[in-house]
Structure 1
């Protein structure tokens, strides 16, 4: 069977309105003057992963539900401008949208519009099956239509990854994704106890061969071959302005390494470099590290590690 798509990205297409606030949590006031202004742009988790993969040279296809609305037009234009094929399924409730409050230190608080989805939302089975059977790998966002697509993805024989984001380690909704994926990404933000406990539980109860827990400025943790290792952060080459999209960039670069046969540790280094790069991109813009720049920075990082005294 021909696998002409490297990565099929399911879900996570939408639009964010970026609001820079003087601090988080935002103190109550009758009004706040917002500088550098308020901007609406296409780009949620699935969009960012798809663009990140495409920037690294992987043949990427995005599948999701979109509305016939201005927000959907922004998403369509984003994919068209970056050359990412997009298969859209009509969403009568409208394209997903959120408001992101961004503090001076780059931290983010997202407010998601829950009216843009319904419990009976589905991605058409023939479409999912056809795209999955043409793909080497599928990265699945944790939206309701994608949950129903998981059995079809497994049947297709493609490997699966997912990002649980700020899972608490217990919520059964995210757990379904965690146990169905071969590669699991999550944030340590909402975890109770050590990240290792949750990471091992995912691997023991599900199918995951690799589990990555990102911890912001503390780096990340990688579970591979029954061993948990710490992956330090890397220093970006430009000032840090925003953490928006860093986790998606990490996942994209990690998958790039995995699909190119790299070791889990090198995949994680790819992720750390790409995540650091994403932190230098303002949330009002869309940009992803390219293949040549990623390989150069990782090579320099590895050379400096070897040269450092022990």
Structure 2
């Protein structure tokens, strides 16, 4: 039976308030004059992954808990305006929100409001089962209460990916996601030994594929025990904000994965999508399109072939 949805994204819906600061870390001062201003817009990790996948032409559905508030209306409007199906459950604490401090070089510092979620928050299991039954793949964001959906998704037979973001390799909250996903993304930001953490994830869990992104240093791929490095690519425009780059990387990678590409080529897809995201101002929610991504990848592969370093292609 042909599935109705390519990717079900669970969790990560919310609103960010963007504050441009003169530098990071921000020195203490009584006040700052902020230009180009302070703006609140919908878009957190799950929203960005769903938007990225949808823009790349994948049939995407987003499930999350959202508050009955103005911020929730912004999230609903984002999905409605972009044509991304959204199934929502009520979040009693209010829609998740964060403040992002963005420096002139595009680096950002996120301040997450941890008071919005409660340990008792749960998705309706029957809803998760119904959505999983018609989807090919599930991308699970590490927000509460997504960990409880992992066994249900596994029973439904869908493959699972997750992004541990800036996990330090120790914090126990992330472990349920790390060991139950087939594909694991994470950042090297807080890791003291990237390869050891990647191999630990693969050794203790289900993942055949672990990807660690390292910003301007590129990314590392562990697939079937082999570790490879992919350098970063030059962004198509000046870097203005790194917010959402990891989500864009995951979206690009999943496009390749669901097309049957080898993970090394999927990493190239993700690298191009992530570089594009760094050129998008933090107040906007734009994502790279399928044609642009594929054309850029083809150009890069032509260059790699000329240098004798073409990434392996074909089914994983």
Please state which band the TM-score falls in when normalised by the shorter chain: over 0.9
Matched ranges for 1:26-175 at <5 A:
26-175=26-175
Partner Cα separation in structure 2 for residue 235 and residue 22 of structure 1: 25
State how far apart, in whole Å, the 2-side matches of 1:239 and 1:81 are: 27
Pairwise CA distance, 1:139: 0.2
Shift of 1:2: 4.3
2-structure distance, mates of 1:237, 1:121: 41
Q: For residues 85 and 174 of structure 2, what CA distance do their matches in structure 1 show?
A: 27
TM-superposition CA deviations, 1:91-117 (whole Å, max 9, x none):
111100000001111111111111111
* Partner Cα distance (2:39, 2:242) in 1: 17
CA distance in 2, matches of 1:248, 1:196: 21
Match of 1:271 in 2: 270
Q: Which residue pairs with 1:13 in the alignment?
A: 13
Residue 258 of structure 1 aligns to a residue in which SS? helix
CA offsets per residue over residues 258-281 of structure 1, 9 Å max, x none?
000011111000000000000000
Q: 2:258: which partner in 1?
A: 259
Q: What is the CA–CA distance in structure 1 between the aligned matches of 2:114 and 2:294, rounded to whole Å?
A: 39
Q: Hey, what's the Cα distance between the residues in 2 that align with 1:2 and 1:149?
A: 23
Alignment of 1:238-253 (within 5 A): 238-253=237-252
Cα deviation code 1:165-208 (max 9, x no counterpart): 00000111101100000000000000112x11110110010000
Match of 1:284 in 2: 283
- Show the counterpart of 1:295: 294
Residue 228 of structure 1 corresponds to which residue in structure 2? 227
Count of aligned pairs between the two proteins: 309
Whole-angstrom CA distance in 1 between matches of 2:115 and 2:169: 26
1:63 Cα shift?
A: 0.1
SS at match of 2:160: strand
3-state SS in 1 of match to 2:145: helix
What is the deviation of 1:308? Answer: 3.2
What's the CA shift for 1:225? 2.1
Deviation track 1:221-273 (CA, whole Å, cap 9, x = no partner) reads 00012100001101111111110100000000000000000111110000000
SS at match of 1:88: strand
State the shift of 1:65 in Å.
0.3
SS of the counterpart of 2:115?
helix
Aligned partner of residue 247 in structure 1, secondary structure: helix
Unaligned runs of 5+ in 2: 310-316
Partner of 1:179: 179
Instruction: Write the distance in 1 (CA, Å) between the matches of 2:22 and 2:219.
Output: 28
Give the unaligned 5+ runs of structure 1.
none
Query: Structure 2 CA distance, aligned partners of 1:267 and 1:23?
Result: 34
Three-state SS of the structure 2 residue aligned to 1:161 is: strand
**Distance in 2 (alpha carbons) for counterparts of 1:104 and 1:32:** 15
* SS of equivalent to 2:99: strand
Tell me, in whole angstroms, the C-alpha distance in 2 between the residues paired with 1:117 and 1:308.
50
What's the secondary structure of 1:199's corresponding residue? helix
Deviation, structure 1 residue 122: 0.4
| Distance in 2 between residues matched to 1:182 and 1:130, nearest whole Å | 21
Decide whether aligned partners of structure 1 residues 309 and 129 sit closer, same or farther in structure 2, where only a CA change above 3 A counts.
closer
Aligned to 2:313: none
Cα distance in 2, alignment partners of residues 308 and 143 from structure 1: 42
